[in-house]
Structure 1
């Protein structure tokens, strides 16, 4: 009897387990795209993303700050930390530099503390410990339990308003601290706080940082009136309700019941206090739950642009979180009345919505082409914003614009391909204005905050940036590519002379190609070649190449690759060079630049200039090598952990590389019509385009082992080419891959089936 009971029990357990498995399957099947996003991916390592609440391209990025100094805290939060300073309203997403963290709020309980204290010793001030077990992040939502105070914090965001919900214990001293002096990395110049009624606090912070001198005004509204409000100035508490100075903080104190929630809505503005109030009023009808519902609807609208079948759960999380990261920046930078600040001027937008935080040097490569496919209207607004710096602000296209200020980080004129990509995909942009802005910046030398004199005047005069100017090889090559882009705009407008002029400049890469060395090499202003350079030390290379990454720029001629391949000795020789690049480990001395990471041989995936290099095998008929390499990079350089990327996420670019690669194609030359075939990792991906059509990629028999393309069909018709075109994608339809475990070395081999990148 006992034996029968045991058998019966086992059978019951098996049936129960099968039911659980079936239920688990059902749950997985019913998961929505938004459920795969994990905002904690990128908050560890040196990826520099934030976990807090935002909406697509919002002015608000409401997120916790664990600290505001040091390399780990470019976005204010690092996953390894165990205490929180507070919750501020603006953050950079994945950048390699620090700023923002504006207008910090912090709820506490008990006697007031006037300083936040240090991350090393949180008991010095108002900081609170927390654990990841009591922390949650979703698109548009963040929650954490503050252990030192027994307070549950929830955050969500609107377009111009941050929504806080603090659930307190029973106490006569529930405090909400306003600290405008807490900013990430920058220098506070002046602050002001005042409260004219017991349900509102307002103020401003004037600071100077990577985004230049800027004001952030705020108006905060409570769901419950406070009992008392005090202001601290220069570390001393006063009974005044208003103060200004370099170090001013505000403290609102409430009486609360156990489990009572106080909501705070905070509107911000770069223009004025009146602007902040208007922005707050524009979202006044929303409480926390309504704002959260709206935020998650907005994110679902973005994430539902993709349907995925197959692949692993980890791959889906990486993919959808990547889509999420691509829709965080640029950021809305305009009040509801149309006023905005750009290049130190107060302007009013007419017929466009102004955005800022343009990391164009990183994102022209894949992020902006992706957004243009999915949300052309947004690319249109971004482009109009950039062009307005020339037409309205009477200045020049920016290199890296933050909060309306060109911090001139990086090189070239990367706004140019961003605008052209939007134009190609149907954005309604005045092409004459666009060309005028491009022509202007192509004749205006900027001094880079990161890389010195732009050398543009010398480039125009000599046909190259001379060796005496820092990063001369990188600058020459990027100028030449961007000149090709300008030439394409001139061609579309029928500006024949301008087309010929810029096409001549587009060939300037030839002027730094040293035939004896068979590579790009620094050239002096007098025309002589620079002498020998120590090739196994980073420091000498950093004089001539961005980050010292010679290995990325050795192949950066995206607009004329076929011509360049011939210069290098032909297809066979070029193929051997690529093999050497990806197989030969570097043995370098000295300090490695922080941006160079994720090595496969000499290729560094953490540095954007080389992101197209794994796809270059297609240009010489060896597409199968691209397929193997992109599979390897997707597997080794990305994960669903907090340190889930090999370097800074850079406002979407690292993720955009993965998204395109996971679908099986990549824009190796933004501005070209060709998207180069790789190796898809999902059984099926449907991408819903901004034009209302859908493009579906089906990968039959794909698996970790079956990484090689055996054949391609587009809408049922055989496709022998190792690329597809923008037009084919935009027409919608089905691209079908037949995958297998062995390379099909005949796929994409004939010349007519290879991508064509030649000067025209």
Structure 2
């Protein structure tokens, strides 16, 4: 080789060495990557996989069935065929309703009934495979095998956006079925078809009471044909129908891969409201634009907590849980502020109106969580409840759905939610108006749709709910806590007479404490204790305790744990009592209530009244036992799987327990100004607060083995009483745990 050639090669080599090297771009996972809406769609968790935005009025999701306990959300992982996509769903509840305004794309012969799961060919139902189905925050997609149609869904707050990719066909259709309901019953329905618009309504009854859902559906392409059906019969040449069973269909000629978009706005108030909702939220926007906006809304909400450490599965459990906590309550108001509640049309003034208040569940941890990370919306929740009294001339609800109080479960926990928000410094709530509504709730007896007579009048007269009233012990204990919430706010407002009255009522739990048994027990109206019962029989417990959960209610005095400890005989006796409960594996006989599950001894994590129990060892000399128990629950009761929880998700409460308990603290008593310290899961967690402050939790030396807290400080100062002050959280403090694998 010539010298010049050698020099040329050497020069090229040097240039190559000195040239900038192409770097592999490492994509940083988004919080959205850790959201799996399929978690909870199996087992008995009852979540839905479809599209929604935070606290949206529309939950656009597939329905596989409308009957059966495991189809409370309309969908279950055991499904292999779908009836279509309806626009309202419940998230993780133990009861059913909604499923308003079903839409289904098809090809071939027009069929106007869904058909059965056993024989989908009877109607417009289609088979599908979970292998050709996907879901993420704000998005759902499935391939409908029977029609070779790819269906995609996303939403704004009040509008569901459908995108259907059709095969080549001269008979492509979209079916509108406003009679479709999950467990409910349609009383009257209406449809009317225009050039590229379908309008109508469904008047129905169910768990959400009598309600009317109006809809306006706008297509991206004019129809080539359309028609309506009335009570199963096609109305030739007509484009309008009103009947108990009124449905519509529209048809197109499509090319292979042609996409047709449908925007479906709903309103609980009027047809005009649905039209306005469509115009304001979706006019001029295509599917991809709305999807991008939905993703941005979810990323903003979910990024309010950033965690590092843990496993990929734990992050998925955490962020999917956070996602579920931003689904309900649901916006229940048109863009012009009109909404329907208490069987009347109302106008929101200065707040956004919400419904879907599963308060018996969510007062415990979901609302306290939102009182930290979403105070703006929390104020709207509180004002929505208060408006039922001041604007609607009614009473605050027990369990409200679509503006109707179905009075499911017990207590008047609207007062807890509101008091917790005010105690946590949430702005925009009038405390005087709040107190008036709270007092009214405490004096209004409502028969529970799930648990019988309220017993409130007897509670006020006797100081307890007598055993002749169903679930008497549970009701007494929850009323007492609710009364503490009222007393707490009254005291802050300087209303000493009211505070004294309700603090006295808040001690009514003592009237059912049987000293000889060291237990909360049943008592008759004449003051005599109920006969002994065999504690291994569910039938003995179910009449007196919610779900028969004697053990959860035996520790339900969240507003005065110190007194509970004293009643149980002091610190050592209380600890032994807790130990015995958690070690109690006595076999039970009889029918077990569906809601009590996830047992460690007789602690059932699947039933919400006991969610504070793992933190009660903080009131003994063995706080490490709480830390061990919390870790066990995190590891055994939650999973990155379709059946990832031990029971109903209940509008966020099951997940809220995990979120708090992985951060390292928990609101044992909502309404108090502090949290009880637990054991953290993450190396670090940062909570982005709305005012710009950032609260940081660090766990030095944390690992799957190092679950015990050696020491904990806030802003460098030791926390000796295991209580984290809310004001330190909101000030953007730094909570630091030193972790170890050894306990005292």
Fold in common (TM above 0.5):
yes
For the residues of structure 2 that align with 1:705 and 1:468, how far apart are their CA atoms?
49
For the residues of structure 2 that align with 1:586 and 1:202, how far apart are their CA atoms?
59
* Structure 2 contact 357–399 (Cα < 8 Å) conserved: yes
Q: Which secondary structure state, in structure 2, belongs to the residue aligned with residue 78 of structure 1? A: coil
1:559 aligns with 2:556: no
Q: How does 1:386-401 map to 2 (within 5 A)?
A: 386-401=385-400
Q: Which secondary structure state, in structure 1, belongs to the residue aligned with residue 383 of structure 2? A: helix
The residue that corresponds to 1:15 in the other structure is none
* Structure 2 contact 101–178 (Cα < 8 Å) conserved: yes
1:188 aligns with 2:182: no
The residue that corresponds to 1:14 in the other structure is none
Q: Deviations over 1:371-422 (max 9, x none)?
A: 1101101000000000000001101010000000000000010100101111
The residue that corresponds to 1:758 in the other structure is none
Stretch moving more, 316-325 or 730-739 = 730-739
For the residues of structure 2 that align with 1:582 and 1:141, how far apart are their CA atoms?
42
For the residues of structure 1 that align with 2:623 and 2:731, how far apart are their CA atoms?
25
The residue that corresponds to 1:16 in the other structure is none
Stretch moving more, 318-327 or 732-741 = 732-741
Task: State which of 211, 218, 237 in structure 2 corresponds to 1:221.
Answer: 218
Shift of 1:545: 0.4
Shift of 1:718: 3.2
The residue that corresponds to 2:234 in the other structure is 237
Q: Which secondary structure state, in structure 2, belongs to the residue aligned with residue 47 of structure 1? A: coil
The residue that corresponds to 2:70 in the other structure is 72
Shift of 1:716: 2.8
Structure 1: unaligned runs, 5 residues or longer: 1-21, 746-760
The residue that corresponds to 1:376 in the other structure is 375
Q: Deviations over 1:717-757 (max 9, x none)?
A: 333331211111111122111111111x3xxxxxxxxxxxx
Q: Which secondary structure state, in structure 1, belongs to the residue aligned with residue 702 of structure 2? A: coil
The change in CA–CA distance for 1:111 and 1:638 in structure 2 (over 3 A counts) is same
Q: How does 1:157-556 map to 2 (within 5 A)?
A: 157-195=155-193, 197-239=194-236, 240-283=238-281, 284-427=283-426, 428-556=428-556
The residue that corresponds to 1:706 in the other structure is 706
Q: Deviations over 1:334-377 (max 9, x none)?
A: 11111111010111111111100000110000000001101101
The residue that corresponds to 2:654 in the other structure is 654
For the residues of structure 2 that align with 1:121 and 1:590, how far apart are their CA atoms?
37
The residue that corresponds to 1:752 in the other structure is none
For the residues of structure 1 that align with 2:270 and 2:370, how far apart are their CA atoms?
31
For the residues of structure 1 that align with 2:24 and 2:594, how far apart are their CA atoms?
46
Q: Which secondary structure state, in structure 2, belongs to the residue aligned with residue 145 of structure 1? A: strand
The residue that corresponds to 1:618 in the other structure is 618
Shift of 1:72: 1.1
- Computed over aligned residues only, the root mean square deviation of the Cα atoms, in angstroms, reads 1.1
TM-score norm. by structure 1 comes to: 0.94
The residue that corresponds to 2:11 in the other structure is none
For the residues of structure 1 that align with 2:594 and 2:717, how far apart are their CA atoms?
47
For the residues of structure 1 that align with 2:668 and 2:298, how far apart are their CA atoms?
28
For the residues of structure 1 that align with 2:578 and 2:692, how far apart are their CA atoms?
39
For the residues of structure 2 that align with 1:478 and 1:717, how far apart are their CA atoms?
35
Shift of 1:281: 0.9
Q: Deviations over 1:511-570 (max 9, x none)?
A: 001111111111101111111122111122111000100010000000111011111100
Q: Deviations over 1:159-218 (max 9, x none)?
A: 1111000000010111000001111000110111111x2100000101100000000000
The residue that corresponds to 1:19 in the other structure is none
The residue that corresponds to 1:59 in the other structure is 57
Q: Which secondary structure state, in structure 2, belongs to the residue aligned with residue 229 of structure 1? A: strand
* Structure 2 contact 179–189 (Cα < 8 Å) conserved: yes
For the residues of structure 2 that align with 1:345 and 1:112, how far apart are their CA atoms?
38
Moved over 6 A (4+): none
Shift of 1:692: 2.0
Stretch moving more, 68-77 or 690-699 = 690-699
For the residues of structure 2 that align with 1:383 and 1:528, how far apart are their CA atoms?
40
The residue that corresponds to 1:748 in the other structure is none
Q: Deviations over 1:669-713 (max 9, x none)?
A: 101122111111111111112232111111111111111111112
* Structure 2 contact 112–175 (Cα < 8 Å) conserved: no
Shift of 1:23: 7.2
Stretch moving more, 601-610 or 574-583 = 574-583
Q: Deviations over 1:264-302 (max 9, x none)?
A: 001101111111111111121321111101100000000
For the residues of structure 2 that align with 1:658 and 1:320, how far apart are their CA atoms?
10
For the residues of structure 2 that align with 1:717 and 1:219, how far apart are their CA atoms?
59
TM-score norm. by structure 2 comes to: 0.96
Shift of 1:582: 1.2
Stretch moving more, 138-147 or 530-539 = 530-539
Structure 2: unaligned runs, 5 residues or longer: 1-22
For the residues of structure 1 that align with 2:65 and 2:556, how far apart are their CA atoms?
38
* Structure 2 contact 423–672 (Cα < 8 Å) conserved: no
Q: How does 1:712-723 map to 2 (within 5 A)?
A: 712-723=712-723
* Structure 2 contact 638–646 (Cα < 8 Å) conserved: yes
For the residues of structure 2 that align with 1:724 and 1:236, how far apart are their CA atoms?
65
For the residues of structure 1 that align with 2:139 and 2:185, how far apart are their CA atoms?
29
* Structure 2 contact 218–263 (Cα < 8 Å) conserved: yes
Q: Which secondary structure state, in structure 2, belongs to the residue aligned with residue 560 of structure 1? A: helix
For the residues of structure 2 that align with 1:434 and 1:58, how far apart are their CA atoms?
25
For the residues of structure 1 that align with 2:392 and 2:534, how far apart are their CA atoms?
45
Q: Which secondary structure state, in structure 1, belongs to the residue aligned with residue 541 of structure 2? A: helix
The residue that corresponds to 1:673 in the other structure is 673
Shift of 1:306: 1.4
* Structure 2 contact 51–139 (Cα < 8 Å) conserved: yes
The residue that corresponds to 1:4 in the other structure is none
Q: Which secondary structure state, in structure 2, belongs to the residue aligned with residue 61 of structure 1? A: coil
For the residues of structure 2 that align with 1:40 and 1:342, how far apart are their CA atoms?
32
Task: State which of 27, 34, 37 in structure 2 corresponds to 1:36.
Answer: 34
For the residues of structure 1 that align with 2:229 and 2:607, how far apart are their CA atoms?
45
